Structure 1
């Protein structure tokens, strides 16, 4: 993989950072975190987030230090340059079907302990993962990483975001499960027999139209270009999320679905359908933006809980309090204290 892409407003869960460094020697992990400009103290915060660009830098820093683009998770290294070589081969395929099958053969050649196969049945294309990596924490992150790469490649090769119709995990629900809804699909199933991602099999017929310029740009911005393909900036979900975030960040009233649809030149029904095609709903997107901004404001420590509730468009602080507990399992004041910003200026709500 090449240099990281320019910074964006997209953030990723700190859980992925913990997964990335879990197999590293302490000195290697510390050096990689420093190069990525990620504060090691964030690793202890269950709801911490880092910019996508920072995670991309971490991925590259680790790959360079251990010559492995797969974080040292498999018994066999995925040496630096392997992903780029695979992408060159995929870009020359006629259809997504042929490219995806080649990608799976490639990854199965790179790895000894994890493998993926494609099954097409009942109008669904399903990629199933067989994983022998231990311990469970490493096995989960290995599957997260492989799915990010595979889904990112599918979206890139198809020339659009390919929504997943279902995502099964052969694991209990992790604390950061909501991240999967944003990255992959709102239809999640845990404790399954095997980890698998499914999508409409008709997408396999998409013609691969990747020219030399597009290939060069994709590889130049990898790995960030890989995991951001799943939430492509041109998608309707991203447009809705961005407009909602911009309005709330300016302390304006939260936009409604009707006003957003009008600003995008669509009817509300059409916007609902287009969001559904991307595996999203207006309520999910609005809640995700509110949650992200709430964590940001609490960590910064400049606003009281009452002020945050008002800025995010809640009727009152108690409504925000209930929503925040649902999102994180903690009261806003308790989360702020755990974040190291102290108990001060938390408003009238109890911690």
Structure 2
């Protein structure tokens, strides 16, 4: 999934926190191949690896895992210690409670709570008076990272029944679909929360301190990555399409995908539909992200990129790219210089 891109609005939210702390961000943007000019254009996307590197550099420079978005710093190593406090819990119930208790020690932005109601359990974030984070990014990152970390702890995917945010629906709301695996999302709620079935509370933790060491060698920006061992079908289809397009099979079809995944077209269609996706949509996003990454590399002419992502005519590629991003490929490339 190295060719995945992310909406530039996430870069802008991190910039807000860094600039609030007085950090000069232009050199950091340039070191990571991101153009400030491009950020002002709606629909601009940047390679996920560039965003991750940018976020990590800000985090390390500020010594703040909250990236300058809260009223006090969350020192580097906090996420690591939270993980270590949870690894010895017997099951997901105990781990969630430990995570909430750990973060509440800092009283930094949100009060964390674990609530049980009927057949569901919710992990909630209630804004602390006078400590509201600068923007939406922190709530999104916390809920996503808590969910994915506990999927990893239990060794299986934990489906989300619902996700709620206290903020209004943002322009980039479509980005929540992969972030929260297609779960229904509501806005303007009193608190931020994610809800999942109660039956997963007693899921035993299968990870160990040794596997945790390996887990922590990577980035704690789990907001960015689909967990590899329990990817949902939409993510698997995207990976399959990436391989096919790179190998020259630009006309890969739903029928071919269904054959590869050993199911009927109808079943594959229904499973994608359950994640609010379609084969056509995933194929479009895959071609778009491949094109954006190739443009960022500055090694290929526009005509060559058109061919590499499956367009027989450059003009058709230019029209499609403008529909995807609001800019022509050439203008898009120039904004990052």
Q: TM-score range by the shorter chain?
A: 0.7 to 0.9
Q: Which runs of 5+ in 2 are unaligned?
A: none
Equivalent residues of 2:17, 2:68 under 8 A apart:
yes
Equivalent residues of 2:113, 2:124 under 8 A apart:
yes
Q: SS at the partner of 2:50? A: helix
Distance in structure 2 (CA, Å) of the matches to 1:20 and 1:240: 30
Q: Where do residues 1-351 of structure 1 align in structure 2 (5 Å cutoff)?
A: 8-25=2-19, 27-33=23-29, 36=32, 38-132=34-128, 138-186=134-182, 187-224=184-221, 226-228=222-224, 230-232=226-228, 235=231, 236-272=233-269, 275=272, 281-293=278-290, 295=292, 302-303=301-302, 311=310, 317=316, 325=323, 330=326, 333=328, 337=331, 340=334
Q: SS at the partner of 1:88? A: helix
Q: Which runs of 5+ in 1 are unaligned?
A: 1-6, 342-351
Equivalent residues of 2:33, 2:50 under 8 A apart:
yes
TM-score, scaled to structure 1: 0.77
Which shifted more, 295-304 or 204-213? 295-304
TM-score, scaled to structure 2: 0.80
Distance in structure 1 (CA, Å) of the matches to 2:95 and 2:256: 40
Q: 1:97: Cα distance to partner?
A: 1.4
Equivalent residues of 2:5, 2:48 under 8 A apart:
yes
Q: SS at the partner of 2:94? A: helix
Q: 1:243: Cα distance to partner?
A: 1.2
Distance in structure 2 (CA, Å) of the matches to 1:13 and 1:149: 19
Aligned residues: 329
Distance in structure 2 (CA, Å) of the matches to 1:92 and 1:273: 39
Distance in structure 1 (CA, Å) of the matches to 2:10 and 2:120: 29
The two structures, once aligned, show a CA RMSD in angstroms of 3.8
Equivalent residues of 2:70, 2:131 under 8 A apart:
no
Higher relative contact order (CA 8 A, sep 6+): 2
Equivalent residues of 1:162, 1:278 under 8 A apart:
no
Equivalent residues of 1:11, 1:52 under 8 A apart:
yes
Distance in structure 2 (CA, Å) of the matches to 1:153 and 1:125: 16
Q: 1:216: Cα distance to partner?
A: 0.7
